[in-house]
Chain A
Amino acid sequence: MPGIRLVKVTKRYGDVTAIRNLSLEIGDGEYVCVLGPTGSGKTTLLKLIAGIVKPDSGEIYIDGRLVNNVPPQERNVAYVPQYYALFPHISVIDNVAFGPLSRGVSREEAYKVSMQMLEMTRLAWRANSFPHELSGGMQQRLALARGLASGAKILLLDEPLGALDARLRVELRYKLREMAKENNLTTIHVTHDQEEAMIVADRIIVLRNGEIQQEGPPSQIYNEPKNIFVAHFVGGANFFEGFVAETDQNGSWIQLRNGFVLRINEVFGSVGERVVVMVREEKATIIRGAKKREGINLLPGTIEWVSFLGDFVSYSIILDNGDRVNSKMPTIIGVGRFRVGERVYVHLRPEDLRIYPYPPHGLYKELEVI
């Protein structure tokens, strides 16, 4: 029986529809990330499942039970808000014991469980400190311990790492998943950080304007994005505008700006149809341009900018037709290889190219994140 099920749920705040006719299923024990930009409805989704807000239409089931009219405290979920909402006036251990105590658990049992949770989150040694005395990372662990102590089998995390330094986020994301899995919890982890989602999730649900764009395991979302938004939001992507010039039984020829042509392995659309071609940054290979070359998907251009990113080097190339391409190479291969101003060829393998219909509001609008 699936752990959580939403059927055609809609939630409005005045004129704004935060969640639109949304249906999804989350399996028992699954670690799911809801990924989307600010304003996509991720927090609202979490609050609907927690019972903090009620849907305007649709049903929510937890463990097979319809919970639309069930208050939060009876849903067996632990909700951890973005800024933790720790009780500042009581100690660390009292913060953790609060949940069990308010549910009527005996003092002895409540503090025993709390100590266990603190040991698990490596905070036992600070049991008598106060929240403001803890570092950011420790406060996050305290919020988690408090959530776990409730005994709930479902963990709802709203940007659990959002309040932390970038470097700490990287360290703690593995611990989060580890802890959830060790305790056999069903977890919904909301985030705007796609890198984080890729690392911790069994499955990712990509949300935009209250609607699910795509859901699936990280590798599928990354390698087979269903639309331009998902391709752009998850990972680095290059986009080319063009139209279908010719199709045959094995693929299509797409004409880009100023006469450049790309071969793709997909039979897509009809001749003359406007399209967008996508290729991941790490699939755009750069070849030295000193010698004149010819070949399929071999595009001449000039290196415009080089950025050293640590484990990767990023080259920005302006192609002779005016399009821009970003190429990402592992440092061990790419560092110092090409210089700004150097003439090169960008090679795109047909099997690495994905094609999409041209978006009705224009490509720029579709890619707009700012």
Chain B
Amino acid sequence: MAAKNVNLQVEDREYLCIIGPSGCGKTTLIKCIAGIIEPDEGEIYIGDRLVNKLPIEDRGVGYVFQEIALFPHMNVYDNVCYGPFVKGWSISRVENLVKEMLNMMGLQDRVRDHPDELSGGAKQKTAVARALVSGSRLLLLDEPLGALDAKVRRVLRYELRRLVKDLGLTAIHVTHDQEEAMSIADRIVVMRAGEVVEVGTPFELYMRPKKLFTANFVGEANFLVGDLVGEEDDCVKIDVNGKILYSKCKVNFEDNRIVAVIRPEFIIMRKSTSLKEVWKGEVRGKVFLGSSIRFEVQMENGSLVAVKRPVSPETLRFNVGDSVSLILPREFLLLYPYPKEGLERAISIE
């Protein structure tokens, strides 16, 4: 089953991203909305219209394919003109709109070029211009930046969003790259194995993920398995393999077995300290990431924890083999019931 009982509402002028691992159903979903494939069950509404039986060309959507799919024998100008031309628009109307679109995309100097003469980014912009010039208010983008270099992706994604917002369009942008989604989406839909796992703003999914899978798929997280052992000072007390930790999370779980989650950059690391709540460990790995450093720390109870700190004179001094003390702030330690299928299956992204 490619998609299972999916309920989704997209707001007018929203920039929505759908993310998930390969095979999660995101492309199937977007193809259903476009009309490229028909759902077996359920209804799809665009605006107030039920569109299940409407052919693609009557749905008012612009679609950008993953493979870009420009006509190789036509130049940029003709590629972009194609849709409205085929629809029978007057030549002057087409010309004006196309010129405006090409200027907006910065392609005015490439109008006579053929696809094989264009860079990856220019091809992508042409594909977007082609989708937009049809006058659609809804833009469907299937991995629009997939074929491009990492650096080009990072630059072009902001241009995509700016364009959609400037034109007042609604966009549904499918991608496997959560960093891409985080940087430009108003809201993100997380999918897995045909189902919607969670929907939220980038901030919500990152700071307060409702599901373990989301915590692992969006950004990096440490997962610590333990047991609820009580309450203290309005905080929940947990035991992780002999180490006691505290969380401000409110819990109402059936079982005592839990998974505690904390992102690497929220952990505080010190050379050594006699503070009550510290957790002692030894640095096993150190990787320079540019503006931050990622450490791997082996804790005294056996847990292996990832810590990420911004580059600074203090953090640069930590080295492999150093003894350190970690503090896991209570407000950043999130708690979840231990999943029935086991932790590894629950968070696996394959």
A residues contacting B by CB (< 8 A) are 37-38, 135-138, 165-168, 170-171, 192-196, 198-199, 218-219, 222, 233-236, 280-282, 307-312, 314, 328, 330-332, 335, 369-370
Contacts and interface: CB of A to CB of B under 8 A. Distances in A.
Interface centre among A235, A280, A310, A330 (most CB of B within 10 A): A310
22 contacts: A136-B350, A138-B350, A165-B21, A165-B22, A170-B220, A192-B151, A194-B150, A196-B150, A198-B289, A198-B290, A218-B290, A219-B288, A234-B290, A282-B311, A307-B184, A309-B182, A309-B202, A310-B218, A330-B265, A369-B155, A370-B125, A370-B155
Contacts of B22: 135-136, 165
Nearest to B349: A167
B176 interface: yes
A307 B186 CA distance: 10
A193 B150 contact: yes
Contact of A167 (B152, B176, B310): B176
B123 to A, nearest CB: 10
A168 B217 CA distance: 9
Given A165-B349, A167-B21, A167-B349, A309 B179 contact: yes
A331 B264 CA distance: 12
Nearest to A370: B121
A18 B119 CA distance: 16
B122 interface: yes
Contact of A310 (B21, B179, B350): B179
A332 B119 CA distance: 39
Contacts of A192: 149-151
B217 A167 contact: yes
Nearest to A38: B149
Given A38-B149, A370-B152, A171 B290 contact: no
Contacts of B152: 37, 369-370
B183 interface: yes
A307 B183 contact: yes
B311 to A, nearest CB: 7
A196 B287 CA distance: 11
A370 B183 contact: no
B327 interface: no
Contacts of A309: 179, 182-183, 202
A135 B350 contact: yes
A235 B290 contact: yes
B65 interface: no
Contacts of B291: 235-236, 280-282, 312, 328
A194 B153 CA distance: 12
Nearest to A177: B287
A218 B206 CA distance: 28
Contacts of A138: 350
Contacts, number: 110
A309 B219 CA distance: 9
A166 B177 contact: yes
Given A194-B151, A370-B156, A311 B288 contact: no
A180 to B, nearest CB: 15
Interface in B122-180: 122, 125, 149-152, 155-156, 176-180
Contact of B122 (A218, A311, A312, A370): A370
Contacts of A235: 290-291
A83 to B, nearest CB: 14
B187 interface: no
Nearest to A232: B151
Contact of B182 (A135, A308, A328, A330): A308
Interface in B269-304: 287-292, 294
A297 to B, nearest CB: 19
B59 interface: no
Given A199-B289, A311-B308, A166 B183 contact: no
B202 A310 contact: yes
Nearest to B121: A370
A249 to B, nearest CB: 27
Contacts of B179: 166, 309-310
Across the A-B interface, the 8 shortest Cβ-Cβ residue pairs: A370-B121, A166-B177, A282-B291, A193-B150, A192-B149, A165-B176, A310-B219, A311-B265
B269 to A, nearest CB: 13
Most chain A CB within a 10 A radius of its CB, from B184, B288, B290: B290
A9 to B, nearest CB: 24
Interface string B234-265: 00000000000000000000000000000111
B288 to A, nearest CB: 5
Contact of A166 (B156, B176, B263, B289): B176
A240 B344 CA distance: 48
Given A198-B290, A199-B289, 14 more contacts: A37-B149, A136-B22, A165-B177, A168-B350, A170-B220, A195-B150, A218-B288, A308-B202, A310-B179, A311-B265, A311-B308, A369-B121, A369-B152, A370-B125
Given A167-B176, A308-B182, A332-B266, A37 B151 contact: yes
Interface string B199-221: 00011001000000000011110
B39 interface: no
Contact of B178 (A166, A219, A330): A166
A168 B349 contact: yes
A138 B349 CA distance: 12
B194 interface: no
A351 to B, nearest CB: 12
Contact of B149 (A135, A136, A168, A369): A369
A135 B294 CA distance: 28
